[in-house]
């Protein structure tokens, strides 16, 4: 027997409809790409998003067509999202930090028909313009006065474009499982892979994000997402903030410490979210100038592990710090490190220990850790295994890739290696392709790297598994020394000794001039493995 509740599909554009109806005068403040601060509100965003829809339809864009954005966090980008999704087209957010060839590859793979771009990225797109076969038109997110001369096909200024629409348009109704947005993962191996979010998954993810132990903003809070709309669905904030009627402050292209500080301060921001490097420059700027942020209550930090000193710095300011973990395939929220019983009364180091974990999942995310054979491992806070996840906002497949990515229980393998503790707190210990498998046991390359980097002469450290005739794999520590500093193999190993289990100790140390990185700043271990493929341990015996 079915329930007798209304058929009310979970559609993304219902979110901006709701914001415009009940929170119409709530502000969206942007540091524009052109320079000045621009103020608008949800009622205006909604009106102009309808014009975007109207113009896309006039340009022939239909349900299921892909429309790319390559843009900073601004009100125009936000309007574009809702305008694209409102007619059932798919908003494909392109990460401008990728190499131009990768951008071209991704746009071609997605078969984007229209690209909306910020002024900043016009030169990059011009470089690869002739390779973008599917793109019929480029819309530059600016007004006519700022419109540059460009070779981009059928280019038009956004304001001029939507200026031709009267906004007399009604959004479409369709199945909530319709694709709404698309985001490619920039893996360290293989081609980028497209994650295809549905309207349903985005709405459910936003409801989850708005709970108190996740991002939890209200209509009386002010949110500044430093995390870009082009990065992992902007951690859902482009949906979750309008859903609650939260004032949004959009930093545009300036993500440096002083610029972020200025907006946090002048707009009385209560909640903000971004990656550790952003907070590092913010905290440095504040310390150097003895600045305070009396309105700031809550900082979400994800993308990579949050250093302990950074957690402490925010706590000392009276700010709640929420370490978060997720991935593009998870929309992206996976876990958040809120304090809960029995840990709520902790102080000092014990408190930092909990806040530094990746946290526990909200309802809607289920997890397990398994060995290589898929057998579930215990949640003792020590045993680590492959982290696998399930939920209504977790990917089941990639766009135009015919590979099953779920296990027999329907779980997606995150590619991370983690421990779970008895209270559900998860701690990432490694990537599964980087973990060193030594005699049937696993050694965390990340733990070794974090330890090695504590040596005063070490600038950066990477650990890879190298074949060993007896143990299968053993860890090789690759070190880049700080400029002008010196340290020997023995000095570094002695420094590490006693701080980890003896069998975790690297079998050797190799010194390099520079450690290679991906476009998004991750250590490129594939390149290191290539570089050291002929290497063999001095003490290895067949």
- Least distance in Å: CB of 306 to a second copy? 20
**CB-nearer residue toward a second copy: 130 or 175:** 175
Give the span between the Cα atoms of 207 and 499, in whole angstroms.
43
**CB-nearer residue toward a second copy: 30 or 445:** 30
Q: Exposed, middle or buried: residue 4 (CB in 10 Å: 0-12, 13-18, 19+)?
A: exposed
Question: Which member of 96, 391, 475, 506 binds a second copy (CB under 8 A)?
Answer: 391
**CB-nearer residue toward a second copy: 425 or 504:** 425
Give the span between the Cα atoms of 62 and 351, in whole angstroms.
52
Lookup result for tokens 């990537």: 431
Question: Helix (H, G, I), strand (E, B), or coil: what is residue 337?
Answer: coil
Residues 6+ positions from 167 with CB-CB distance below 8 Å: 47, 48, 50, 51, 54
| Footprint on residues 463-482 left by a second copy (CB under 8 A) | none
Buried b (16+ CB within 10 A) or exposed e, 203-229: bbbbbbbbeebbbbbeeebbbbbbbbb
| Footprint on residues 75-94 left by a second copy (CB under 8 A) | 90
Determine, following the binding rule CB under 8 A, whether residue 1 of this chain makes contact with a second copy: yes
Which x/- pattern, by CB under 8 A, does the window 15-34 give for a second copy? x-xx--xxxxxx--------
Question: Which member of 83, 96, 192, 245 binds a second copy (CB under 8 A)?
Answer: 245
**CB-nearer residue toward a second copy: 395 or 466:** 395
- The first and second tokens of residue 263, run together, are 């907006």
Determine, following the binding rule CB under 8 A, whether residue 334 of this chain makes contact with a second copy: no
**CB-nearer residue toward a second copy: 216 or 251:** 216
Give the span between the Cα atoms of 410 and 396, in whole angstroms.
8
Give the span between the Cα atoms of 190 and 160, in whole angstroms.
40
Residues 6+ positions from 50 with CB-CB distance below 8 Å: 83, 86, 165, 167, 169, 171
Determine, following the binding rule CB under 8 A, whether residue 294 of this chain makes contact with a second copy: no
Determine, following the binding rule CB under 8 A, whether residue 213 of this chain makes contact with a second copy: yes
Give the end-to-end CA distance of the chain in Å, rounded to a whole number.
67
Radius of gyration for the chain, computed over Cα atoms and rounded to the nearest angstrom: 24
Determine, following the binding rule CB under 8 A, whether residue 390 of this chain makes contact with a second copy: yes
**CB-nearer residue toward a second copy: 69 or 210:** 210
- The first and second tokens of residue 23, run together, are 């929170």
Supply φ then ψ for residue 103, to 5 degrees: -60, -45
Strands 247-250 and 27-31 come out as parallel
Q: Exposed, middle or buried: residue 422 (CB in 10 Å: 0-12, 13-18, 19+)?
A: exposed
**CB-nearer residue toward a second copy: 107 or 208:** 208
Strands 298-301 and 271-274 come out as parallel
Determine, following the binding rule CB under 8 A, whether residue 219 of this chain makes contact with a second copy: yes
- Least distance in Å: CB of 103 to a second copy? 22
Lookup result for tokens 């290679």: 516
- Least distance in Å: CB of 213 to a second copy? 5
Determine, following the binding rule CB under 8 A, whether residue 64 of this chain makes contact with a second copy: yes
Number of residues interacting with a second copy: please give it, by CB under 8 A. Answer: 79
Give the span between the Cα atoms of 254 and 162, in whole angstroms.
26
Determine, following the binding rule CB under 8 A, whether residue 378 of this chain makes contact with a second copy: no
- Least distance in Å: CB of 52 to a second copy? 19
Peptide bond into 101 cis (omega under 30): no
Give the span between the Cα atoms of 316 and 46, in whole angstroms.
39
- Least distance in Å: CB of 289 to a second copy? 29
Residues 6+ positions from 8 with CB-CB distance below 8 Å: none
| Footprint on residues 137-196 left by a second copy (CB under 8 A) | 175, 177-180, 195-196
Determine, following the binding rule CB under 8 A, whether residue 48 of this chain makes contact with a second copy: no
| Footprint on residues 103-122 left by a second copy (CB under 8 A) | none
- Residues with catalytic function: 185, 329, 437, 442
- Least distance in Å: CB of 231 to a second copy? 19
Segment interacting with a second copy, rule: CB under 8 A, options 144-152, 316-324, 396-404, 460-468: 396-404
Question: Which member of 81, 138, 384, 412 binds a second copy (CB under 8 A)?
Answer: 412
Segment interacting with a second copy, rule: CB under 8 A, options 139-147, 331-339, 485-493, 521-529: 331-339
**CB-nearer residue toward a second copy: 294 or 422:** 422
Determine, following the binding rule CB under 8 A, whether residue 338 of this chain makes contact with a second copy: yes
| Alpha-carbon dihedral sign for residues 329, 331, 337, 340 | negative
Determine, following the binding rule CB under 8 A, whether residue 266 of this chain makes contact with a second copy: no
- Least distance in Å: CB of 203 to a second copy? 8
- Least distance in Å: CB of 84 to a second copy? 13
Cβ(49)–Cβ(86) below 8 Å: yes
- Least distance in Å: CB of 176 to a second copy? 9
Question: Which member of 38, 280, 397, 500 binds a second copy (CB under 8 A)?
Answer: 397
**CB-nearer residue toward a second copy: 77 or 200:** 200
């Amino acid at each position: 027997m079915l329930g007798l509740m209304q058929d009310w599909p979970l559609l993304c554009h219902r979110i901006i409809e709701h914001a415009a109806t009940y929170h119409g005068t709530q502000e969206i403040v942007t540091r524009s790409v052109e320079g000045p601060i621009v103020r608008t509100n949800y009622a205006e965003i909604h009106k102009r998003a309808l014009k975007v829809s109207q113009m896309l339809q006039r340009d022939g864009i239909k349900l299921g067509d892909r429309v790319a954005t390559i843009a900073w966090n601004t009100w125009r980008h936000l309007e574009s999202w809702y305008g694209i999704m409102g007619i059932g087209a798919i908003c494909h957010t392109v990460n401008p930090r990728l190499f131009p060839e990768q951008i071209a590859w991704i746009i071609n793979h997605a078969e984007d028909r229209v690209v909306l771009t910020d002024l900043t990225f016009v030169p990059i797109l011009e470089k690869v313009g002739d390779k973008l076969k599917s793109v019929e038109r480029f819309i530059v997110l600016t007004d006519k006065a700022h419109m540059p001369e460009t070779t981009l096909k059928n280019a038009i200024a956004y304001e001029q474009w939507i200026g031709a629409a009267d906004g007399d348009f009604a959004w479409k109704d369709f199945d909530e499982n319709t694709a709404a947005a698309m985001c490619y993962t920039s893996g360290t191996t293989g081609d980028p892979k497209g994650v295809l979010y549905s309207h349903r998954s985005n709405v459910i993810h936003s409801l989850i994000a708005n709970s108190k132990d996740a991002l939890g903003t209200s209509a009386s809070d002010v949110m500044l997402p430093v995390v870009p709309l082009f990065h992992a669905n902007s951690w859902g904030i482009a949906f979750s903030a309008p859903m609650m009627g939260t004032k949004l402050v959009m930093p545009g292209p300036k993500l440096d410490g002083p610029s972020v500080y200025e907006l946090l301060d002048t707009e009385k921001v209560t909640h903000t979210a971004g990656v550790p490097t952003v907070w590092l420059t913010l905290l440095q700027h504040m310390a150097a100038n003895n600045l305070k942020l009396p309105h700031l209550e809550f900082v979400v930090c994800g993308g990579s592990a949050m250093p302990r000193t950074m957690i402490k710095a925010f706590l000392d300011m009276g700010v709640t710090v929420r370490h978060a973990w997720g991935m593009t395939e998870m929309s992206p929220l996976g876990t958040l490190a809120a304090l809960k019983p029995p840990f709520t009364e902790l102080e000092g180091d014990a408190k930092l220990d909990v806040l530094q974990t990746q946290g526990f999942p909200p309802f809607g995310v289920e997890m397990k850790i398994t060995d290589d054979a898929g057998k579930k491992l215990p949640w003792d806070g020590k045993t680590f295994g492959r982290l696998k996840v399930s939920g209504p906002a977790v990917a089941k497949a990639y766009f135009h890739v015919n590979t099953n990515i779920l296990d027999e229980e329907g779980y997606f393998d995150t590619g991370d290696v983690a421990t779970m503790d008895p209270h559900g707190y998860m701690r990432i210990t490694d990537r599964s392709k980087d973990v060193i498998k030594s005699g049937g046991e696993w050694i965390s390359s990340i733990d070794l790297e974090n330890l090695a980097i504590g040596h005063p002469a070490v600038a950066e450290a990477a650990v890879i598994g190298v074949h060993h005739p007896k143990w299968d794999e053993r860890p090789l520590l690759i070190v880049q020394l700080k400029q002008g500093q010196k340290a020997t193999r023995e000095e570094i190993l002695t420094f590490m000794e006693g701080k980890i289990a003896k069998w975790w100790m690297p079998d050797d140390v190799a010194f390099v001039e520079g450690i290679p990185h991906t476009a998004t700043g991750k250590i490129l271990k594939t390149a290191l493995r290539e570089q050291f493929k002929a290497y063999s341990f001095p003490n290895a015996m067949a």
